[in-house]
C-alpha cells in the first residue's frame, strides 16, 4: 500500500505541474496523450486505495494564473466529467434527447451583459474566481459588444486560435521562449498580454457553448443556442440526437476531424441534455456538475515506424527538426512526418541515427512522436543552414534551458519571412496560396531568395506538385494567382516593398503627388519625399535609407521586370475622377482584384470609401443590385444610387 501511495503522490505532482503549464501558456510539459494515460492511472489508484488528496486533479479544475484583477464568478464555471467510451455516453444520456458539440481546445471565458451592453469578461480561473479581461473586449472576435436583449445575461464559451493562425504566428516568433506548443497554449498566452493591439493581431475567436443565465423562460438547450446566435454570437456547431443514435453520430463527428476539415483545435466532443431544467438538477462535486454535460475524448491510436532521417527546416532564425519515417496509417490518413520541436525534445525522446518511433496524431490532427525504441547511434546536428548555408549555432534558453538550433546569418531569407508575408498579402500583391508555411517550404528548397523569385516558381512546378500538401490543382491555382498579381496598383506595390515606416496611407500620399514615375524619380535623384504633406523628414529618410541599400535597389529593379504598375491619375492635380465623392463598396468584385484594390483606386482618384451607408454616401457599389441586404435597404431608404462595379468602371475608371 505504501508503494501505491508513493506512486499516487508522484502522479498528483506530475499532473498538476503539467496542468499548470497547460493553463498558463507555458512550454508543454507532456502531451495530452501522456497526460490522459497518467490521469487514468491516478483515477484507478484512487478507486483502489481510497486515498484522495484535495489537490488531486480529479478533485479540482485547472486554473490559469494572471496578473490581472481577480473576481468571483456569478455562477461556478466547472469542468465536465470525461469518458472515452461511447457506451458511457449512452448510459449518461438516459434515453433523453442530447446535443453533441465540439470540445474546443482553448481558454474558457464568461461574458456578462446588462441593459444590452457587455459589462464583464472573466477567464474561468479555478472555476470560482477568474481574471477580469474586459479591457480586451475589442480585441476578440465572436461576440457583440451590444445586444438587443436588455436583461441580465451570462454566456460561457471558448476562446480559440485556429491552426492556420497558430502556424503563422509561431513561425514568425524568433525567440524560442516565445514560441507555443499548440493553439491552446497560444490562446492562453495571448489572453495574458497587456497590449490589446497585440491580442487583436492574433485573431482570438470566441465560440459560445452555454447560455448560463437569461431572464427568459427558455428550457431547450437548442433554443438557447439559437437565441445567442440571433443576438450575434458565434455559437459552437451542434447536433441533437437520441441516445441510441450516439455511436453513429460520434463516428460522423470524428470523421470531420480525421478528414482534416477542422481548422479549429478540438480535443473531443461535449454531450449535454436538451432539457436544461433536468441538466441543472444534478449534484455538484468540487470538479464538475454531474448532469451539466459530459466530455467524450477519443482513444489515442499510435503506430510504430522506422526513422528514415531527420529533416532540418529553417523558420525565422530557428532551425527545427522534423522526423521523416516510413509511411504508416494513422487515424484514417497516411503519415510520414512529425515535428521533433527542438534539440532538447530529441534528447528527451532518445532519438538515434536509427530508431523506431511511436507516433500519434495529437487531437487527431498533428502528428507527434511520443516515444522511441531500439535507438542506434547519435542524431546529427547540421553545421550549416538549409536555406543560406551559413554556420549554425546551438543556443540554450536562459528561462526554459531548451536547446535550439539557429542560423547565424542576419540576412538569411528565412529570417525575413514576415516581409514575404506582407508582400503577398491582400494589401500588397494579393497572391492566394502562398501561406507563410508554404513560403518557408520553398525557402528551404532554395526556390525563394528574393521577392522576384515568386514570379519564377513556375520553373519548379513539377517539384512543387510532388510536395506534401500540394497536387495538380493547388499548384495550378497558386500559379494562376501569381500571374494575376503581375498587374498591380502602385500603392499596393509600394506597400509590398516592405519599406520601414511606409504603409498604405503614406503610399497614397506619394502616388497622389507625383504618380509612380515620380516616386521612382525621387528615389533615383535622391530628392526624397519630405515636402509631401503627411510624409515629413522621418518617413522620407526611412525611404531613402531603404533605397540606399543595394539589396533593396536590386530587389526593386528585379520586381519591375516582372510586374506592370497600373496607371492612375494624380488627385492632387485636381479633377480626380472620384473627387469629392463618398462610396460604400459591398459584396464580391470582379474588375478589381479585391475590395482593397477597389478602395485604393477610389482614393487615388480623390474619392473616399466608408463602411456604412449614410446621408453623406454618394454611391453604394454592389454587383447584386436586387440584394435585400441592410446596406441596399438603407441606400434605398435614403435615396442613394446603387450601381454595379461595371457601371462604376464605365463612369469613373
Distance of CA 22 to the CA centre of its chain: 18
Percent of the chain as helix, strand, coil, to the nearest 5: 40, 25, 40
Q: How far apart are CA 372 and CA 194, in angstroms?
A: 41
Return the exposure string of 539-572: e unless at least 16 CB atoms fall within 10 Å of the residue's CB, then b. bbebbbebbeeeebeebbeebeeebebbebbbbe
Q: How far apart are CA 157 and CA 126, in angstroms?
A: 16
- Please calculate the CA angle 551-435-367 and round it to the nearest 5 degrees: 125
Of residues 6, 84, 103, 115, which has the active-site annotation? 103
User: How are strands ordered across the β-sheet holding 81-83?
Assistant: 81-83, 294-296, 266-273, 98-104, 238-241
Q: How far apart are CA 249 and CA 252, in angstroms?
A: 5
DSSP states of 422-443 = HHHSTTTT--TT--HHHHHHHH
Is there a contact between 407 and 314 (Cβ–Cβ < 8 Å)? yes
Q: Kindly report the number of other CB atoms within 10 A of residue 356's CB atom.
A: 16
Size (the chain), residues: 653
Q: Quick one: residue 203, left, alpha or beta (phi over 0 = left, psi -120 to 50 = alpha)? A: left
Cell of residue 131, nine digits: 481574471
Q: How far apart are CA 302 and CA 367, in angstroms?
A: 10
Q: How far apart are CA 521 and CA 298, in angstroms?
A: 63
Collapsed DSSP state (helix, strand, coil) of residue 144: coil
Q: How far apart are CA 233 and CA 650, in angstroms?
A: 40
Question: Phi and psi of 336, rounded to 5°?
Answer: -140, 5
Cell of residue 551, nine digits: 539589396
Q: How far apart are CA 625 and CA 199, in angstroms?
A: 38
Is there a contact between 387 and 420 (Cβ–Cβ < 8 Å)? no
Helix (H), strand (E), coil (C) string for 602-627: HHHCCCEEECCCCCCCCEEEECCCCC
Cell of residue 78, nine digits: 466547472
Considering Cα of 46, then 50, then 55, then 58, what sign does the dihedral take?
positive
Is 441 a residue of the active site?
no
Question: Phi and psi of 543, rounded to 5°?
Answer: -65, -45
Cell of residue 451, nine digits: 521577392
Cell of residue 623, nine digits: 454587383
Q: How far apart are CA 143 and CA 204, in angstroms?
A: 11
Kindly provide the residue ranges of all beta strands, DSSP E only, lying in 363-503, ordered along the sequence.
366-376, 392-396, 403-407, 487-488
Helix (H), strand (E), coil (C) string for 310-363: EEEEEECCEEEEEEEEEEEEECCEEEEEEECCCHHHHHHHCCCCEEEEEEEEEC
- Location of C-alpha cell 507563410: 436
- Which residues are the active-site residues? 103
Amino acid at each position: 500500500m505504501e508503494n501505491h501511495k508513493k506512486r499516487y503522490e508522484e502522479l498528483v505532482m506530475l499532473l498538476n505541474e503539467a496542468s499548470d503549464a497547460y493553463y498558463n501558456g507555458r512550454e508543454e510539459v507532456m502531451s495530452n496523450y501522456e497526460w490522459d494515460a497518467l490521469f487514468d492511472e491516478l483515477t484507478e489508484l484512487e478507486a483502489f486505495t481510497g486515498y484522495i488528496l484535495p489537490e488531486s486533479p480529479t478533485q479540482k479544475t485547472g486554473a490559469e494564473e494572471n496578473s490581472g484583477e481577480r473576481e468571483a464568478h456569478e455562477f461556478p464555471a466547472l469542468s465536465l466529467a470525461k469518458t472515452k467510451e461511447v457506451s458511457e455516453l449512452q448510459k449518461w444520456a438516459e434515453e433523453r434527447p442530447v446535443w453533441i458539440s465540439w470540445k474546443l481546445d482553448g481558454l474558457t471565458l464568461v461574458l456578462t451583459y446588462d441593459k444590452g451592453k457587455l459589462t464583464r469578461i472573466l477567464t474561468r480561473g479555478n472555476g470560482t474566481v477568474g481574471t477580469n479581461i474586459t479591457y480586451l473586449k475589442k480585441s476578440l472576435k465572436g461576440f457583440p459588444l451590444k445586444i438587443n436583449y436588455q436583461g441580465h445575461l451570462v454566456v460561457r464559451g471558448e476562446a480559440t486560435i485556429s491552426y492556420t493562425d497558430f502556424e503563422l504566428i509561431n513561425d514568425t516568433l524568433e525567440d524560442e521562449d516565445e514560441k507555443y506548443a499548440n493553439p491552446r497554449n497560444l490562446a492562453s498566452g495571448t489572453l495574458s498580454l497587456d497590449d490589446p493591439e497585440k491580442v487583436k493581431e492574433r485573431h482570438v475567436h470566441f465560440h459560445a457553448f452555454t447560455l448560463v443565465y437569461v431572464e427568459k423562460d427558455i428550457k431547450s438547450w437548442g433554443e438557447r443556442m439559437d437565441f445567442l446566435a440571433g443576438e450575434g454570437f458565434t455559437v459552437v456547431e451542434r447536433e441533437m440526437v437520441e441516445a441510441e443514435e450516439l455511436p453513429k453520430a460520434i463516428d460522423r463527428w470524428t470523421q470531420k476531424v480525421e478528414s482534416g476539415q477542422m481548422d479549429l483545435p478540438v480535443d473531443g466532443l461535449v454531450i449535454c441534455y436538451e432539457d436544461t431544467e433536468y441538466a441543472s438538477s444534478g449534484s455538484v462535486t468540487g470538479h464538475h456538475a454531474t448532469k451539466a454535460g459530459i466530455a467524450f475524448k477519443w482513444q489515442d491510436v499510435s503506430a510504430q515506424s522506422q526513422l528514415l532521417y531527420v529533416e532540418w527546416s529553417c523558420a525565422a532564425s530557428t532551425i527545427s527538426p522534423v522526423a521523416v519515417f516510413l509511411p504508416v496509417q494513422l487515424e484514417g490518413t497516411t503519415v510520414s512526418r512529425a515535428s521533433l520541436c527542438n534539440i532538447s525534445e530529441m534528447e528527451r525522446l532518445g532519438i538515434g541515427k536509427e530508431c523506431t518511433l511511436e507516433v500519434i496524431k495529437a487531437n487527431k490532427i498533428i502528428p507527434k512522436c511520443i516515444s522511441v525504441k531500439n535507438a542506434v547511434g547519435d542524431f546529427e546536428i547540421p553545421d550549416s543552414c538549409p536555406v543560406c548555408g551559413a554556420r549554425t549555432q546551438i543556443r540554450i534558453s536562459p528561462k526554459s534551458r531548451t536547446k535550439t538550433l539557429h542560423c547565424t546569418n542576419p540576412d538569411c531569407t528565412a529570417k525575413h519571412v514576415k516581409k514575404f508575408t506582407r508582400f503577398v498579402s491582400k494589401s500588397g500583391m494579393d497572391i492566394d496560396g502562398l501561406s507563410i508555411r508554404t513560403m518557408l517550404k520553398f525557402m528551404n528548397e532554395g526556390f525563394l531568395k528574393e521577392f522576384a523569385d515568386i514570379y519564377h516558381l513556375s520553373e519548379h512546378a513539377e517539384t512543387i506538385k510532388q510536395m506534401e500538401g500540394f497536387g495538380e490543382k493547388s499548384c495550378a491555382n497558386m500559379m494562376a494567382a501569381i500571374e494575376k498579381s503581375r498587374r498591380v496598383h502602385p500603392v499596393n506595390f509600394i506597400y509590398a516593398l516592405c519599406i520601414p515606416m511606409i504603409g498604405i496611407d503614406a503610399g497614397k500620399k506619394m502616388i497622389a503627388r507625383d504618380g509612380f514615375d515620380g516616386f521612382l524619380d525621387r528615389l533615383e535623384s535622391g530628392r526624397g519625399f519630405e515636402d509631401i504633406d503627411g510624409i515629413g523628414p522621418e518617413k522620407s529618410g526611412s525611404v531613402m535609407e531603404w533605397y540606399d541599400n543595394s539589396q533593396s535597389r536590386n530587389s526593386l529593379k528585379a520586381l519591375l521586370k516582372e510586374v506592370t504598375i497600373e496607371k492612375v491619375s494624380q488627385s492632387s492635380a485636381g479633377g480626380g475622377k472620384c473627387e469629392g465623392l463618398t462610396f460604400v463598396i459591398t459584396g464580391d468584385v470582379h474588375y478589381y482584384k479585391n475590395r482593397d484594390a477597389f478602395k485604393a483606386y477610389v482614393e487615388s482618384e480623390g474619392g473616399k470609401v466608408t463602411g456604412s451607408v449614410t446621408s453623406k454616401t454618394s454611391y453604394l457599389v454592389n454587383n447584386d443590385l436586387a440584394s435585400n441586404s441592410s446596406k441596399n435597404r438603407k441606400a434605398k431608404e435614403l435615396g442613394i444610387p446603387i450601381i454595379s462595379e461595371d457601371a462604376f468602371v464605365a463612369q469613373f475608371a
